[in-house]
Amino acid sequence: MGLLSNRIDRSSLKPGDHIYSWRTAYIYAHHGIYVGDDRVIHFTRRGQEVGTGTVLDLILVSSGPSRGHTHCPTCVPPNEGHGVVSSCLNCFLAGGVLYRFEYSVNAAHFLAKARGGTCTLAVSDSNDIVVHRAKHLLQNGFGCYDVFKNNCEDFAIYCKTGLLVLEGRTMGQSGQAVSIIGGPIAAVLSTPMRLVTTNVYGMAATAVGVYCASRYATDIGMRADVAKVAVEDLTRRLSSGLFQVIDSPLAAISLPSTS
């Protein structure tokens, strides 16, 4: 691992590692938790790696493993259920390259990673706790999949840290989602600079600065709207309705119940 790449060899994998693999054209990366014995637990949209329920799926799904990709007998993705699945490492990678997500990085290292979804300032819990959370969620689910609020990266980050964003109207933990939305926002916010300077380099520098600031401020390790939630408490609240789960492409994964 290093500043330019988090690529690793399979021989260096340890149970509790947060791993990911970029899909076609680096449009998105699929994340999961390695739990040992060549198994990865990861979060999907009813067996589909990524989805919004909108026309965006034409781009996202086409970037993932092809429909002709043959899964091994123990890794056939379910079409129904809560979306948390266990796959062998080969099926998880789907022919892609193996990367390890980094935790406890410093601010300079974090900002040097131009693309979100590769590292965080947050501190990881011990590997045995991480594996326990992943296996518990495999049996009990992680709420409804939402590409912006509750995706595979959010699942893996929760397993590693136990941290959840409590405010349902804001972005989830995912650095990928922040990168996707942060770029256009940075461009929009830097537009008023045209009133100050017509220098394209100055405007570009402003846009980059806004983008980096948004990534830094929304990282799970920096946010004030997060709390440590025990996995048993999380699934108990989900099953009892204390969290109101909403299955909508642009809705929050969970909101405090008003009843």
Q: Choosing from 30, 31, 82, 136, which is the catalytic residue? A: 30
Q: Dihedral of CA 163/123/96/218: which sign?
A: positive
152 is catalytic: yes
CB 83 within 8 A of CB 46: yes
Q: What distance in Å separates the CA atoms of residue 149 and residue 163, rounded to the nearest whole number?
A: 14
Q: Choosing from 91, 119, 144, 152, which is the catalytic residue? A: 152
82 is catalytic: no
Q: Choosing from 18, 31, 42, 136, which is the catalytic residue? A: 42
Q: Could you write out the DSSP letters of every residue in 10-61?
A: GGG--TT-EEEEE-GGGS-EEEEEEEETTEEEEE-BTTBS---SSTTHHHHH
42 is catalytic: yes
Other C-beta atoms closer than 10 Å to the C-beta of 244 total 16
As given in the structure block, the two tokens for residue 197 are: 């300077």
Active-site residues, by number, are 30, 42, 152
